[in-house]
Amino acid sequence: MSKTIIISNRLPVRIEKDENDELSYKTSEGGLATGLGSIFKTGDNIWIGWPGMAFSSEESKANVKENLLERNMAPVFLTEDEVNNYYLGFSNQTLWPAYHYFVQNIIFNEKQWQSYVDANKKFAAVVAEYIEPGDTIWVHDYQLLLLPQMLRDINPDLTIGFFQHIPFPSYEVFRMIPWRQELLKGMLGADYIAFHTYDDMRHFLSSVHRVVGLAYDRNEILLDDRIVVVDSVPMGIDYDKYAKSAESSDAIAREARYRRDLRGRLVLSMDRLDYSKGISTRLKAFERFLIENPNYKGEFSLLLIVVPSRDKVPSYQSLKEEIDELVGRINGEFGRMNWTPIHYFYRSFPLPALSAFYRMCEIAMITPLRDGMNLVCKEFIASKRDQKGVLILSEMAGSSKELSDAILVNPNDQKQLVESLKKALEMPQEEQVAHMELMQSSLQKYNIFKWVDLFLGNLEEVKTMQAEMATHNLDKKSHSQIINDFSKAQKRLILLDYDGTLVPFHDDPESCAPSDELMETLKQLKSNPNNEVVIISGRKADHLEKWMGSLHSHLVAEHGAWIKEPYSKWTRNPELNSDDWKEEVKEIINFYVDRTPGSFLEEKANALVWHYRKVEKGLGALRSSELYSHLKYMRRRGVDVMEGNHIVEVKPTAINKGKIALEYKKRFNPDFSMAIGDDRTDEYMFEMLPESSYTIKVGPGNSFARFSIKDDVAVRVILKELAEADS
């Protein structure tokens, strides 16, 4: 029976040694552990990760492994050196600062990179011990970016999902990393890749396109063997857990006890120690507030909770010293005998204590300089059972995309931070309740369990789509079957694309005339009255007339805009709408022609095509992506934007090769039908024709076609064999 394997850097337990040197296993209360608990604790499912300690003896490793397996977990044992170089090193001194836009903190170290590679290999080796056919793999976060492809190399048929919990930076920052290609290719081993926000997803797609050179359509990346889907799936919290904890007798008792020492109104600031959290910036804004609003002195205090983190990393040690100095300075300057401006705690607290803090504090000031999501603000909202309270939230936090009813601020704008604090302190209760009610409703609906179900459900849909689009190389058996079925059939329909199918691509689109041998083969097929041969192309009508007119067969130009029946004249498709869109699109395409040497605009009667085959490789791919994005809004005008082989084409949505192919199928009602094409425009044919049709894609890549063949040479071989079988 198939199982789900969850993989993260850390396991959802903390292994600690007591005074007797005995190991104890303490369950993590983090959001991810809570959300995935319902999965890894059932059946044969398992969670694989580092247990948080280095073990030297094989005996202790065996003991830990045995204890963890009883909890549906499996350990990846890392040495102290690996932890220092892979985790504290490359993960947190290269990736973390780069992904949070702290470029001044980035360290590029070849030894740390190699340790990162080796650690990912070690994870892959442990996962390989548990993989069975049909398993689902869910990899988590930036410490394991190489793992998806390593697992794909072990078993190409695996179902692999990847979720990144921190931001993904813009291309301009990401390109700084020397090992950028390796990181992206590692991630692309997954079938489904998700981030917290659309911005992160967009940055990732841009980097894939510009660094690896892969094209994407909306949120789908086309690899040679499959499609990878990229998505935005914001993570929630266990809403009921925090709501119930806030009403527990323990939390209420703690609040009463804390209130005796923490008098007056309270503003909560709670973060893990990290320069991305903006703690120093927030403290400076608090100091400025007290200077500019002296009437508030003594009225409220800041409850500053900083959870220890990575205190062995020099930049974190410096940050801790800076926070200590700021707190000391502010308390020393503004404090009174009966009032302390900042109550500062450098430690973690259990859930009942956190719930008491959430209850006590009227305002939560969560203003990271950059954050993938930030769940503290969500926990604060869930804990406000009376719906009174105000959230000041950084627009740089992923959670701001969901919590638009908070007071959103730019954390770098000191003036705005000061104004937001004043606004929060003076906000009427009715307004507080109105905002809190909306945010609670949203968080209650999109909780951590919804997030888990959504991710795994989407991953399953991606695998289904891949299966539907999976093509099989046309082997000898299938090849023989086609020839045999063709020979037996009384009425046959053959639909053929032109460029890349009947003839190879050429740098000059005007120089793609068919060979004499190809024309002879097509004429031989056309000579049998039982055969209907249709050349269906994106080419202009005059091109097809020049090259294929002597065939006296069915010709379809511009994807179906123009049609010519044997021995007849060209006629315009009556379904076409007006051409009032063309001038606007022409102006946009010409803008890209002017700034992209080697590109040009081809104007057809019912379509506009931007060609970039002669453009410098990287520049052409970049400009095509930009143009495609620029033109997408034109779909509202009744036109479609398609990316083909070194082209971007705009045409009316009323026509496509699929509709035309289906019309011919209905008209002739053949007992043998075959369609051959090479690019995305031909997918319409493959998708629309019934499953009994022989649909063949030319070249690599996923497709709705049943079979794939190598190139145009293979196409001509098949057509010649059909013609000979017919003689």
Q: How many CB atoms lie within 10 A of CB 19?
A: 5
- The pLDDT assigned to 29 comes to 67
- The pLDDT assigned to 576 comes to 74
Give me the residue label for tokens 């963890």.
68
Say yes or no to pLDDT of 448 above 70. yes
Give the whole-angstrom CA distance, residue 433 versus residue 395: 21
- The pLDDT assigned to 263 comes to 80
The CA-to-CA distance between both ends of the chain, in Å, stands at 54
What are the tens digits of pLDDT across the range 107-158? 999 999 999 999 999 999 999 999 999 999 999 999 999 999 999 999 999 9
- The pLDDT assigned to 77 comes to 95
Give the whole-angstrom CA distance, residue 49 versus residue 208: 27
Q: How many CB atoms lie within 10 A of CB 162?
A: 27
Give the whole-angstrom CA distance, residue 201 versus residue 154: 27
What is the mean predicted confidence (pLDDT) over 405-433? 97
What are the tens digits of pLDDT across the range 152-184? 999 999 999 999 999 999 999 999 999 999 999
Give the whole-angstrom CA distance, residue 537 versus residue 515: 17
What's the pLDDT band for 225 if we cut at 50, 70, 90?
Answer: confident
What is the mean predicted confidence (pLDDT) over 702-709? 87
- The pLDDT assigned to 614 comes to 82
Six-digit token string for 664: 């011919």
3-state secondary structure 459-513: HHHHHHHHHHHCCEECCHHHHHHHHHHHHHCCCEEEEECCECCCECCCCCCCCCC
- The pLDDT assigned to 188 comes to 98
**Residue 263: φ, ψ to 5°:** -90, 160
Contact 687, 507 (CB under 8 A): no
Q: Rounded mean pLDDT of the chain? A: 91
What are the tens digits of pLDDT across the range 61-84? 999 999 999 999 999 999 999 999
The answer for residues whose C-beta is within 8 angstroms of residue 661's C-beta and 6 or more apart is: 495, 534, 536, 675, 684, 685, 688, 689
Contact 210, 426 (CB under 8 A): no
What percent of the chain clears pLDDT 70, i.e. is strictly above it? 98
Could you write out the DSSP letters of every residue in 149-201?
HHHHHH-TT-EEEEE--S----HHHHTTSTTHHHHHHHHTTSSEEEESSHHHH
Q: Name the residue type at position 582.
A: K
What are the tens digits of pLDDT across the range 560-616? 889 999 999 999 888 776 677 888 899 999 999 988 888 899 988 788 999 998 887
- The pLDDT assigned to 551 comes to 92
What's the pLDDT band for 652 if we cut at 50, 70, 90?
Answer: confident
Question: Among 516, 604, 525, which Cα is nearest to 557's?
Answer: 604
Say yes or no to pLDDT of 505 above 90. no
What is the mean predicted confidence (pLDDT) over 612-641? 79
- The pLDDT assigned to 139 comes to 98
Q: Average the pLDDT over each of 211-225, 521-535, 701-715 and give the range with the smallest value.
A: 211-225
Give the whole-angstrom CA distance, residue 638 versus residue 312: 59
The answer for residues whose C-beta is within 8 angstroms of residue 352's C-beta and 6 or more apart is: 245, 248, 250, 251, 254
Give me the residue label for tokens 């034109």.
634
What is the mean predicted confidence (pLDDT) over 361-369? 97
Give the whole-angstrom CA distance, residue 606 versus residue 32: 53
Q: What is the DSSP letter of 401?
A: G
Our CA angle for 266, 272, 276, nearest 5°, is 105
**Residue 144: φ, ψ to 5°:** -125, 40
Say yes or no to pLDDT of 467 above 90. no
Q: Which residues are catalytic?
A: 497
- The pLDDT assigned to 278 comes to 96
Residue with the larger pLDDT of the pair 318 and 31: 318
- The pLDDT assigned to 699 comes to 85
What's the pLDDT band for 358 if we cut at 50, 70, 90?
Answer: very high
404 φψ region: left (φ > 0), alpha (ψ -120 to 50), beta (else)? alpha
Residue with the larger pLDDT of the pair 1 and 460: 460
What are the tens digits of pLDDT across the range 302-353? 999 999 988 777 888 999 999 999 999 999 999 999 999 999 999 999 999 9
Taking CA atoms, 60 is separated from 22, 23, 53, 66, 81, in Å, by: 11, 10, 11, 10, 19
- The pLDDT assigned to 617 comes to 63
- The pLDDT assigned to 610 comes to 93
Instruction: Identify the helix (H) or strand (E) that includes residue 675.
Output: strand 672-677
- The pLDDT assigned to 41 comes to 82
Contact 486, 492 (CB under 8 A): yes
Q: What is the DSSP letter of 514?
A: P
96 φψ region: left (φ > 0), alpha (ψ -120 to 50), beta (else)? alpha
Tell whether the torsion through CA atoms of 494, 498, 499 and 503 is positive or negative. positive
The answer for residues whose C-beta is within 8 angstroms of residue 319's C-beta and 6 or more apart is: 273, 274, 275, 279, 280
Our CA angle for 134, 139, 141, nearest 5°, is 170
Question: Among 350, 202, 365, 354, which Cα is nearest to 277's?
Answer: 365
**Residue 532: φ, ψ to 5°:** -115, 115
Give the whole-angstrom CA distance, residue 522 versus residue 518: 6
Contact 239, 444 (CB under 8 A): yes
Q: Which domains does the chain have, with CATH numbers?
A: 4-232 (3.40.50.2000), 239-445 (3.40.50.2000), 472-576+654-726 (3.40.50.1000), 582-652 (3.30.70.1020)
Q: What is the DSSP letter of 222?
A: E
Could you write out the DSSP letters of every residue in 45-107?
-EEEEE-SS---SHHHHHHHHHHHHTTTEEE----HHHIIIIIIIIIIIIIHHHHTT-GGG--
What are the tens digits of pLDDT across the range 84-121? 999 999 999 999 999 999 999 999 999 999 999 999 99
Could you write out the DSSP letters of every residue in 636-663?
GGTEEEEEETTEEEEEETT--HHHHHHH
What percent of the chain clears pLDDT 90, i.e. is strictly above it? 71
What are the tens digits of pLDDT across the range 449-459? 999 999 999 99
What's the pLDDT band for 39 if we cut at 50, 70, 90?
Answer: confident
Give the whole-angstrom CA distance, residue 591 versus residue 573: 30
What's the pLDDT band for 491 if we cut at 50, 70, 90?
Answer: very high
Question: Among 108, 123, 180, which Cα is nearest to 7's?
Answer: 123
Say yes or no to pLDDT of 233 above 70. yes
- The pLDDT assigned to 577 comes to 65
* DSSP SS3 for 204: helix
Strands 220-222 and 300-307 come out as unpaired
Six-digit token string for 378: 């969500």
Six-digit token string for 618: 């990287």
